């Protein structure tokens, strides 16, 4: 059975004190998690040592980073390597988030190298993909997302894919006033799984968690997580409030 995962992406939010309080509230309210249910928290870099320490005694809750660099070391001022993250006891790293692609011009070739660095250092990768509004309106979203997966991930072996989680972000449904239905989410997740099966076989495809990253909140989480190919969520704004994030975790536990 593949893992069910709810991952929090805090983005560039919260002071150290605010972050510590949020993690405390989450840990205090989190239900007992079965071995195939995981919670991942990705704070800004400066929070990582603090967050790792707070999560040390909470089963199945893991610290993540929001990004890593594509080189292992060197004169890259302001960047953080996968090896540094591993030394800080981070377990997951988000790669290819839509904001990184848009605001920092991250290319598929760059993301493939970041993925290689993360896997070489023993990190689990949460690899993001998803289409903007223009692609969705042109009804070419399947080909667009397939190209992202092929260019970013398909150099990996089947064994390496066991350490990859995919997160689908319908960019057109985030902060635009438009929403993606559970049917639209399921359709894309099923397509992603079919693309994985064509490359790696049905066993790898069936084992790969695919998360939904499009404005998931407590009010729609249960419906989304009930979809056959939706294995949890990559949560943005709702992860900054303990009650909302716990509500989404509860939906994942019951899915």
Q: Which residues are catalytic?
A: 97, 169
Q: Are 4 and 37 in contact (CB under 8 A)?
A: yes
Q: What is the DSSP letter of 171?
A: G
Q: What is the DSSP letter of 2?
A: P
Helix, strand or coil, per DSSP, at residue 62: strand
Strand ranges (DSSP E) for the chain? 4-9, 37-42, 61-65, 92-95, 124-129, 164-168, 210-212, 232-235
152 annotated as a binding-site residue: no
237 annotated as a binding-site residue: yes
Half-sphere exposure of residue 106: CA atoms within 13 angstroms, side-chain side: 26
Helix, strand or coil, per DSSP, at residue 130: coil
> What is the b/e burial string over 212-236, where b = at least 16 CB atoms within 10 angstroms of the residue's CB?
bbbbbbbebbbebbebebbbbbbbb
| Gap between the Cα atoms of 127 and 165, Å rounded | 6
201 annotated as a binding-site residue: no
Count of other CB atoms within 10 angstroms of residue 176: 12
- With CA atoms as reference, report the closest residue to 233 among 252, 250, 247, 255: 252
11 annotated as a binding-site residue: yes
236 annotated as a binding-site residue: yes
Q: Are 71 and 118 in contact (CB under 8 A)?
A: no
Residue set of the binding site: 9-11, 175, 215, 236-237
Residue set of the binding site for substrate: 9-11, 175, 215, 236-237
């Amino acid at each position: 059975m593949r893992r069910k995962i709810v991952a929090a992406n805090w983005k560039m939010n919260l002071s150290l004190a605010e972050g510590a309080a949020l993690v405390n509230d989450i840990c205090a309210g989190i239900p007992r998690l079965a071995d195939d249910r995981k919670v991942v928290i990705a704070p800004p870099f400066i929070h990582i040592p603090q967050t790792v320490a707070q999560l040390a005694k909470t089963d199945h809750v893991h610290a993540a980073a929001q990004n890593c660099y594509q080189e292992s070391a060197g004169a890259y001022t302001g960047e953080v390597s996968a090896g540094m993250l591993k030394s800080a006891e981070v377990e997951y790293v988000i790669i290819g988030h839509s904001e990184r692609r848009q605001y920092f011009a991250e290319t598929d070739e760059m993301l493939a190298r970041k993925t290689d660095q993360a896997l070489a250092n023993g990190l689990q990768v949460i690899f993001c993909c998803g289409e903007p509004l223009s692609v969705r309106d042109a009804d070419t979203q399947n080909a667009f997302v397939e190209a992202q997966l092929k260019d970013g991930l398909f150099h990996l072996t089947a064994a390496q894919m066991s350490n990859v989680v995919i997160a689908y972000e319908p960019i057109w449904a985030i902060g635009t006033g438009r929403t993606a239905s559970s049917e639209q989410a399921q359709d894309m997740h099923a397509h992603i799984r079919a693309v994985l099966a064509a490359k790696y076989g049905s066993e790898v495809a069936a084992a790969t968690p695919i998360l939904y990253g499009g404005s998931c909140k407590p009010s729609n989480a249960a419906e989304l997580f009930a979809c056959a190919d939706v294995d949890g969520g990559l949560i943005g704004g709702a992860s900054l409030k303990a009650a909302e994030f716990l509500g989404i975790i509860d939906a994942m536990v019951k899915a």
